[in-house]
Amino acid sequence: MTLFSVLDRSPVRRVGGPARALRDTVAFARDIERLGYHRFWVSEHHGVPGVAGSAPTVLAAAVAGATGRIRVGTGGVMLPNHRPLVVAEQFGVLEALHPGRIDMGLGRSVGFTAGVREALGHGKEAAEDFGAQIRELLGFFTGEHAFPGVHAYPAEGLRVPPFLLATGSGADLAAELGLPLVIAPVRGERALAEAVTRYREGFRPSEWAREPYVVVSTAIAVADSAADARLLLVSEAWATVYSRSHGVFPPLSPPAEILAMPMTGRERARLEETLDGQISGTPAEVADRVGSLVSATGADEVLATTAAHDQSARLDSFAALAELAGLRGIVVSGIAG
């Protein structure tokens, strides 16, 4: 059976600001738990006007405290920005407070701009040691590390499930370390399927995972019409396009306003390309596309994200996806199972 989970990046909307965005994330997590999803993850971004989630373990603690069943984690903590000992301690605290509910998603991205990287004290080269950083981090849980007399309390002896966020060749590292893989179809579904196949073929069992485990992350929007569903994705898609041209990911704007604004031909083409690479449509259309994605990758889990400007419509979309996935007792087009 394919599991369904949710990633929320705490998007900032023009009205409300970052504090409102963080409170919305916690409230959204309660709604997602009620709908029957398996996990709720938060992300890490620094110096980004359109994203409030800069401290994922702190936000995960708030989410876990506000919910009661759903697994809570990070998608992810960007390990090159931190010392592994501190990350181990943070997740140890989370697991001690919420035993059996915490996930440790780990990524290798560094700061979005040169200024942010300088402020963090880590340049682009920090990502080159990602494999060694993960080994060091996991060693603080097992007690097998290179620092005599150091104990990462309360992490030592605990087992917080680690997940490696990767694209392309990053899947090879997850296979080598024997870790569950979280991967997105950023270069198309064919490249995604090839990376997943390579991961499964090269997987080495570890104490963290005896078998390969694949989580496919993608934007998904469901509505009564294909046009309305696509409209839900416009705000974040435009913010992504804008960031490529201006180096700033802005707060989300209403989609109708975005589509009416003047754009260069290149910007409009990039917007359409971004939207075409995401999954949106009527329930039947989304069931077909998600079913095809799961079939092509053999995904054990789908991690859905939708950063719509209209939060009510976003919740309706996730409710519809829950029904498609059988989370509410309804199964369409064989997505579940």
Here the tokens at position 14 are 């023009």
Close Cβ partners of 242 (under 8 Å, ≥ 6 residues apart): 248, 249, 250, 267
Q: Give dist(CA 105, CA 103) in Å, integer.
A: 6
What kind and span of H or E run contains 237? helix 226-246
Looking at residue 333, its pLDDT comes to: 42
SS (H, E, C) 313-327: HHHHHHHHHHHHECC
Model pLDDT for residues 12-25, shown as the tens digit of each residue: 998 889 999 999 99
Strands (E), the chain: 3-8, 39-42, 71-74, 77-78, 102-107, 162-166, 181-183, 214-222, 279-281, 301-305
39 in a structural domain: yes
> How far apart are the two ends of the chain, measured CA to CA in Å?
4
**Model pTM?**
0.94
**ω before 205 within 30° of 0 (cis)?**
no
107 in a structural domain: yes
**ω before 50 within 30° of 0 (cis)?**
no
Looking at residue 12, its pLDDT comes to: 95
CB atoms within 10 A of CB 134: 21
Residues paired with 5 in a beta bridge: 303
Number of domains in the chain: 1
Looking at residue 328, its pLDDT comes to: 54
State whether residue 125 is helix, strand or coil.
helix
Q: Give dist(CA 122, CA 124) in Å, integer.
A: 7
Q: Is residue 174 predicted with pLDDT exceeding 80?
A: yes
254 in a structural domain: no
Looking at residue 330, its pLDDT comes to: 40
In CATH, what number is assigned to the domain containing residue 315?
3.20.20.30
330 in a structural domain: no
- Residue numbers of the domain that contains 296: 3-225+283-325
259 in a structural domain: no
Model pLDDT for residues 75-121, shown as the tens digit of each residue: 999 999 999 999 999 999 999 999 999 999 999 988 777 788 888 88
Here the tokens at position 310 are 């209209």
250 in a structural domain: no
275 in a structural domain: no
257 in a structural domain: no
